[in-house]
Amino acid sequence: MHFDRRTVLRLALVSGAALSMPQALMAQDAVSLEGETVEWTIPFGEGGGSDTWARFFSPYLSKHLPGQPTVLVRNVPGGGSISGANAFAQRAQDDGLALLGTSASTQFPYLLGDKRVRYDYRDFEPVLASPVGGVVYIPAEFGVSDISEIGKLKDKELVFPNTGPTSLDLVPLLAFDMLGLNVRHVFGMNSRGETRLAFERGEANIDFQTTPSYLVNIVPMIEAGKAVPLFSFGTFDEDGNIVRDPTFPDIPHFLEAYEAMHGAPPEPSEKLEAYLAFFGAGFPAQKMAVLPKSAPPEMIEAYRKAFADAVADPELQAEKGKVLGEYKQATGKAAQRAFEIATTISPEAKAWMQDYLAKNYNIKL
């Protein structure tokens, strides 16, 4: 199934050259962070996908930044990541020792024009962009062994712990709506780490986790027979088609789940286009590390080189599948292109989504 907008995403996510060697060498020579501490703000609680992602990268960033500074991950949860991102934008020093990790839950309110947002992506400089996947899972007690039995869920009340309708949870919110599932959304969760705990306690019976948390926390539950994967959100191939996530090749993607539920693929509609727009911003370029644009240029270049070197580090390559999944990490020019896609939305998709949220969740943007 092909959609024109995907061509843009494909171009954004194709690996590009990082810094040229002269730039990289100049940055390396001009900067030393020996004895310093880099504070990496993650605007989510501990245990979720973004926290797992940052804690995986932090020792490699420390290793490859000049002077090998300490990299400290600081969790600032609240408001579906808006609180921490606002605080960073308002208080972060521009000395190159303050780094922010953003996610779709940070990008979506910005794209939608949420009045609570006090940060502007135009003030940030991307140094890493990480594609990510996501898998929806349910308790094994439902007796649904695979996607062919998704129809068994039609008559069940499903409880989904939601971090907010303008967070990354907007994507499953739309997906559940399109599938016709009876889902009660419980809002107020601060992170996907909290939603996972709600599922484990039996307070929720449908959840999703992004790839890092799913691999670390949910796969053991599945192996123990306590949970069953329902579908992934998928990814894009080079022609812009939605295909199975390479990290989860045995799990059907959302459009396969839709066809299993309804007997046919979804017809083109404004709802489908909105879903695809937010899926594109939420997963193919979902997690990003950014510095204040006001940081010294040589410091920004040092981070770009450090992340490029970290991604190429044989140790990281050997370990990444367990946490990051089988996705190509974007640095340099590729990170810049992914950044532009993740922070841009068409006026039509924005207007439809604003109207949907106003009518269904009384959210005035």
Of residues 187 and 340, more confidence is placed in 187
pLDDT digits (tens, 9 = 90+) for 201-240: 999 999 999 888 899 899 999 999 999 999 999 987 766 6
Share of the chain above pLDDT 70, in %: 91
Residue 341: pLDDT over 70: yes
pLDDT digits (tens, 9 = 90+) for 26-41: 444 578 999 999 999 9
Residue-level pLDDT at 25: 40
Residue-level pLDDT at 29: 55
Residue with tokens 């100049």: 26
Residue-level pLDDT at 90: 95
Please provide the CATH number assigned to the domain covering 134-281.
3.40.190.10
Share of the chain above pLDDT 90, in %: 64
Task: Spell out the domain ranges in the chain.
Answer: 5-131+284-352, 134-281
pTM, two decimals, is 0.74
CATH superfamily of 5-131+284-352: Bordetella uptake gene, domain 1 (3.40.190.150)
pLDDT digits (tens, 9 = 90+) for 158-212: 999 999 898 889 999 999 999 999 999 999 998 888 999 999 999 999 999 988 8
Strand partners, 338: none
Residue-level pLDDT at 156: 93
